[in-house]
Amino acid sequence: MNNAKIQQWLIGIFSVLLIVSLMIVATVEIKKTREYKPEIDIDKITARCITCHEKENIAVKQIDAWEESEHAVMGIGCFECHEAKDGDFDAQRCPESDFLIARHPTPKDCAECHEQQVAEFANSKHAHQFWLFANADRAVYENPISTRHGCEQCHQVGNIWPDGSVGECDVCHAKHSFDLAVARQPETCGECHIGPDHPHIEIYNESKHGNIFITKGGEWDMGYHTADNEPIPIEAPVCVTCHMDGNEKQPMTHNVSARLAWESQSPWSYRTVWDEENLGSWEVKRERMESICKSCHAPNFIETYLVTADLVNLQYNEIRRMFVYWTKKLTNDSLIDRLKADGKFYSNPVLNGWDEVPELEMYHAWHHEGRRFRHGAEMMGADFTQWHGIWDLQEDMVELIAWAAEHGDKEAEEWVESNHPSKFAPYALYDIPGSAWGIPTKTNTTPFVYKDNKDYWDRIKANVETVYKKGLLAEDQWDLWMKRYENKDHYLGLKYSSDVDSTWNFYKERNALDTKAFKEQAVKLNLPGKSFWERKK
Amino acid sequence: MSVKEWLKERFPIDYEKFVEINENIFIKEPIPLHMKKWLLAMGTTPFILLPMQIITGILLAFYFVPSPEMAYESVRYITEEVQLGFWIRGFHHWGANLMIISIFLHMMRVFFTHAYRKPREINWIVGFILLFLVLTISFTGYSLTYNQLSYWAATVGTNLVKETPLIGGFLVNMLRGGESVTANTLTRFYTLHVWLLPLLITLMIVIHIIVLRVHGISEPEGYDKGYYPFYPSHFNKIIIVTLFLISLISLLTVILPPGLGQPADPMNTPLHIKPEWYFFSVFLFLKLVPIKLGILLIGLIVLIMIFWPFIEPLTSKKEDRRAIINYVLGGTAILILIAFTILETISL
Amino acid sequence: MEKEKQQKQTRRDFLFKFGIIGVLVIGIGAFVRNLFLFIFPRKKEVRYHKYLVGRVSKIPLGEAKEITIQKKPVFVVHLEDGFKVFSGICTHLGCIIKWEENNNRFFCPCHKGIFDKTGKVVDGPPPEPLHEYKVEQEEDLVFVYVKDKVKGPWS
């Protein structure tokens, strides 16, 4: 081939290459680092409100918040929510204009656009003022002014308005930006779900879920819309991810009761019957929650985890049975008295009462430690099931029985005088062989109840079978339990206990060194200068 | 009446003569046979890249806003929002880099084939001026993106100018239009980058080519003597190189697109600041020696390089000894340059 | 025979050159096209947002309400079969139309263009009916779809 021909070929080849490269260029999509929000249009009425509010300097930051909201983009201005009719409970004539404005938009106003959300909320336990039915006498212990900014502030979430609507949307959806990221932030739930009675935010922060969120969540965009049946876009769940947001299988809901199978805040744990006609049985609700769990977890793990938590709930009832037994007995024996005025009782031996030790123990064992014990077990708050849970419960029980013994109850005296280790389990037990975390080889070789009772697992099985037959456990849960029961040597790790003796002995030797060290350094220490008190004597 | 006649009436020039001149200086321009070797025809590459830089530069100027508030944002807008904006910006970026690479290669060829020798000393100096103009236009262009790295490169770069003896302070003030890098600096750099320097570069290229043409292309020893006409063979070569460059740059914009970086923050110097790679060797050298001495030494080296065509004859009278000095000096300089650049690249 | 062969040779040569030039022209054409796309950037996707323009209960049947969207006048008209929302800009030469309630029509003062309440031209020079927004009615609320106009220096 001659030179000219080669050159022509080259021109041809490079022309094709150029076309190909330009085609590649055309397909490239550049990731945008900035998203501009649509410019907002302020309608005439809103503009009047803003001008005047700015002039008078009334709640001007709320205007900025509104301008950041999606409402502002959509032309939902002041009057769309704050319009009032004559005679409305919150109607007010704006002093600077002729507008009749609503001081307090209620869920009824929100429902104009967010009908489904308001309806779902109204069907949830958030909207249920249960404490007013059984517990109105609480006010004898705490005077009203103290509860205004106390319990009433949180329980505003279920307020019944003069217009008949229920709830307060901006408890979670901070006005006036109504920012989804704020509503989704765990601290929003933690405004109320905090403290000794239900430390849910603390439990969450203790859990692996909370830890991942605290570590990495700052970089996540929490302002997303969950559409129904869309994948969860964040790596670890926040509160609403499990209780409200949707995933591939579950729709988003404002009914926080839709995925809860227990009433574990109640004095007795029981399988929920809340709004069964719409939400279905507790088993349906449990499946909803499990379906969210399964976005991230293997089924076997969460089923084991949850059945264990269920047994903790049932165990709580058995512990509570002791408190009820003793307070009732002490009431009948007139060792403690109910509060009474004008023929009406103001305390209840099985619920609350504040002027006698057994009543206080009873109240705490339910309202504080009893809830921490159960909720910690449900949401991976180990410390809350352990030290703030069962430990405090046992202390309450010991103190209650000791009080009864001091006040002359024979049965209590007998209990106090007993030396047998089983005295701390004066109630029936539940158990499950092993945990969801793995196979422990030595842990289960120590518990006293295992050693002391050859028929331990048969008695436990009888208990679990009874609650299953009563419908408090689902069939697949019973199957799972039985599978573990039948292979309990495996799940309890007892089967492997002797296999790991060389490892065990290694640590045993180290432990001996530790014991020796503290004996030498501390126990055997004898100081020459005697105590000053001794010298005085 | 034909178009030709119509034109001839309006522009009464000697058309035949025009064609003849065109044939003589363009179509039939005698090209020495050694130019058939691709590596010996490197000088055309920056010349091809220049119009590409001008076109993409004009297009970028349609959108770029030279103000501290808007510079970064407009670069972002070009990259992310404008249709094919990332391509034009990447083209300009990679075009500049390739231009510097090709100039270095061209200079190497000229140096080692002794093409700078009498009577072509002036063109070597013109070429050197072109190199400085291109480095300056690259520096100012890089600073215009106004991200953290480019902002601090501008600050450090202009601070170096301050070390120039006697007129340093005056020069920095003139460049920055104030005490520090501000809006004034940005508009100055912009003016330099979009018209003053391009104009100077074009002017110098014209001189470069006129000088080249009046002397004819230098012919290195050891190749067949003889000539071939510019058209079609060499013309085709230019087309091939052009097509290849456009394709290469387009692919580079996709594979290695220039990033946006973080917006410039005059209150906060990033941990690792670095100039563009072609300043690495100087950057490293200035880190190793005291700054005043460094500037003086670099100035000295540059002066020697610029006036090398006049210095070389003083080194030795013997032709072959001079050739050896040429190879040794050139080779050492290139090795040091490469070594410094690599060292700076791998250092954090 | 020899001649035929030569002819074939030149024809093949011609086709070859033609092909090369063709590819070259397409390559350069694609390049120039991309440059033009850069100069006249087309927004890749136009996004819309919903905007509340009124309530069914607030606008009596047959009446028009004037509002402002993106600083331009807009009319919301309650008709028998739902709502229509018109841009208040005359399709003739861009003056602002007025709603004349007693005449039940839109009137443009510049060249006496007249539109009826469904936006159709009744009289005068306007070449086409009033521009409409896409309307969506959700129970009592009337929304239109408005093109996103982004905040920032580029709009």
B267 and B332 co-located in one domain: no
Instruction: Give yes or no for residue C8 having a pLDDT over 80.
Output: no
Q: Supply B280's token pair.
A: 């690495």
d(CA A499, CA A507): 15
For A29, nearest residue in chain C (alpha carbons): C44
pLDDT of amino acid B35: 82
Kindly state whether B233 is in contact with chain A, defined as any CB-CB distance less than 8 angstroms.
yes
Beta bridge partners of C69: C72
d(CA B264, CA B154): 11
Instruction: Give yes or no for residue A231 having a pLDDT over 80.
Output: yes
Domain boundary among B229, B251, B275: B275
Write the residue in B70, B84, B239 that is nearest to C37 by C-beta.
Answer: B84
Selected residues 26-45 of chain A with any CB under 8 Å from a CB in chain B: 26, 28, 30-34
CA distances from A162 to A117, A124, A166, C8 (A): 20, 20, 9, 99
* Per-residue pLDDT reduced to its tens digit, A78-134: 999 999 988 999 999 988 888 999 999 999 999 988 999 999 999 999 999 887 776
| Cβ-proximal residues to A265 (8 Å cutoff; 6+ apart), any chain | A198, A371, A375
Question: Which amino acid appears at position B61 of this protein?
Answer: A
Binned at pLDDT 50, 70 and 90, residue C10 comes out as: confident
Write the residue in B82, B239, B246 that is nearest to C41 by C-beta.
Answer: B82
Residue B12 belongs to some domain of the structure: no
Binned at pLDDT 50, 70 and 90, residue A11 comes out as: confident
Instruction: Report the C-alpha dihedral over residues B9, B10, B16, B21, rounded to 10 degrees.
Output: 170
Q: How many structural domains compose chain C?
A: 2
Write the residue in B84, B236, B246 that is nearest to A7 by C-beta.
Answer: B236
CA atoms within 13 A on the CB side of A385: 20
Q: How many structural domains compose chain B?
A: 2
Binned at pLDDT 50, 70 and 90, residue A353 comes out as: confident
| Cβ-proximal residues to A407 (8 Å cutoff; 6+ apart), any chain | A330, A335
B176 and B304 co-located in one domain: no
Q: Which residue has the tokens 């070929």?
A: A9
pLDDT of amino acid A137: 63
Write the residue in C27, C71, C143 that is nearest to A18 by C-beta.
Answer: C27
Highest mean pLDDT among A331-345, B190-204, C45-59: B190-204
Burial category of B9 from C-beta neighbours within 10 Å (exposed 0-12, middle 13-18, buried 19 and up): exposed
d(CA B229, CA B30): 5
| Cβ-proximal residues to A54 (8 Å cutoff; 6+ apart), any chain | A60, A63
Selected residues 88-107 of chain B with any CB under 8 Å from a CB in chain C: 88
| B243 to A30: CB separation less than 8 angstroms, yes or no | no
B79 and B164 co-located in one domain: yes
C134 and C59 co-located in one domain: yes
Chains that touch C (3 or more CB pairs under 8 A): A, B
Q: Can you say whether the dihedral through the CA atoms of A124, A125, A126, A128 is positive or negative?
A: positive
Over residues B2-25, the mean pLDDT reads: 84
Helix axes A299-332, A369-378, angle to 10 degrees: 170
Residue C1 belongs to some domain of the structure: yes
pLDDT of amino acid C43: 62
Give the CATH number for residue B42. Answer: 1.20.810.10
Three-state secondary-structure class, residue A352: strand
Residue B9 belongs to some domain of the structure: no
Chain A with chain C: Cβ pairs closer than 8 A: 74
Q: How many residues does chain B have?
A: 348
B267 and B282 co-located in one domain: no
Chains that touch A (3 or more CB pairs under 8 A): B, C
Residues B148 and B270: beta-carbon distance below 8 Å: yes
Kindly state whether C47 is in contact with chain B, defined as any CB-CB distance less than 8 angstroms.
no
Residues C93 and C51: beta-carbon distance below 8 Å: no
Q: Supply B23's token pair.
A: 């044939």
Residue B18 belongs to some domain of the structure: no
Highest mean pLDDT among A218-232, A386-400, B314-328, C123-137: A386-400
Q: Supply A307's token pair.
A: 């059945």
- Which strands sit side by side in the sheet containing C64-69, from one edge to the other? C64-69, C72-79, C82-87, C132-133
Write the residue in B246, B253, B260 that is nearest to A18 by C-beta.
Answer: B246
Domain that holds residue B59: 24-275
| C68 to A44: CB separation less than 8 angstroms, yes or no | yes
C143 and C67 co-located in one domain: yes
Secondary structure element (H or E) that encloses residue B99, with its range? helix B85-112
- Which of A1, A43, A68 is most worth mutating to test chain C (most C CB atoms within 10 A of its CB)? A43
Domain that holds residue C118: 48-147
pLDDT of amino acid A345: 86
d(CA A326, CA A321): 9
* Per-residue pLDDT reduced to its tens digit, B75-117: 999 998 888 899 999 999 999 999 999 999 999 989 998 889 8
Q: How far apart are the first and last CA of chain C?
A: 71
DSSP state of C89: B
- In this structure, the number of other CB atoms found within 10 A of the CB of residue A435 comes to 16
Chains that touch B (3 or more CB pairs under 8 A): A, C
| B240 to A17: CB separation less than 8 angstroms, yes or no | no
Write the residue in A3, A10, A14 that is nearest to B247 by C-beta.
Answer: A14
When mean pLDDT is compared across A12-16, B33-37, B62-66, the lowest value belongs to B33-37
Residue B14 belongs to some domain of the structure: no
List CB contacts (< 8 A) between C155 and chain B.
Answer: none
Domain boundary among B251, B275, B299: B275
Q: Can you say whether the dihedral through the CA atoms of C110, C114, C120, C126 is positive or negative?
A: negative
| B83 to C42: CB separation less than 8 angstroms, yes or no | yes
* Widest Cα–Cα separation across chain C: 94
Residues A490 and A439: beta-carbon distance below 8 Å: yes
Residue B11 belongs to some domain of the structure: no
Domain boundary among B216, B247, B275: B275
- Which of B77, B82, B245 is most worth mutating to test chain C (most C CB atoms within 10 A of its CB)? B82
Residue B4 belongs to some domain of the structure: no
CA distances from A301 to A231, A381, A436, A489 (A): 20, 17, 6, 19
Write the residue in A8, A15, A41 that is nearest to C70 by C-beta.
Answer: A41
CA distances from A488 to A441, A485, B319 (A): 12, 5, 97
| A12 to C143: CB separation less than 8 angstroms, yes or no | no
B39 and B71 co-located in one domain: yes
Residue B216 belongs to some domain of the structure: yes
B60 and B152 co-located in one domain: yes
Beta bridge partners of C82: C79
Over residues A266-274, the mean pLDDT reads: 96
Residue C154 belongs to some domain of the structure: no
d(CA A511, CA A504): 10
pLDDT of amino acid C42: 66
Kindly state whether A5 is in contact with chain B, defined as any CB-CB distance less than 8 angstroms.
no
* Per-residue pLDDT reduced to its tens digit, A16-64: 999 998 888 888 888 877 777 778 888 888 999 999 999 999 999 999 9
* Per-residue pLDDT reduced to its tens digit, A60-91: 999 999 999 999 999 999 999 999 988 999 99
| B59 to C35: CB separation less than 8 angstroms, yes or no | yes
List CB contacts (< 8 A) between A15 and chain C.
Answer: 20, 23-24, 26-27
Residue C103 belongs to some domain of the structure: yes
Instruction: Give yes or no for residue A1 having a pLDDT over 60.
Output: no
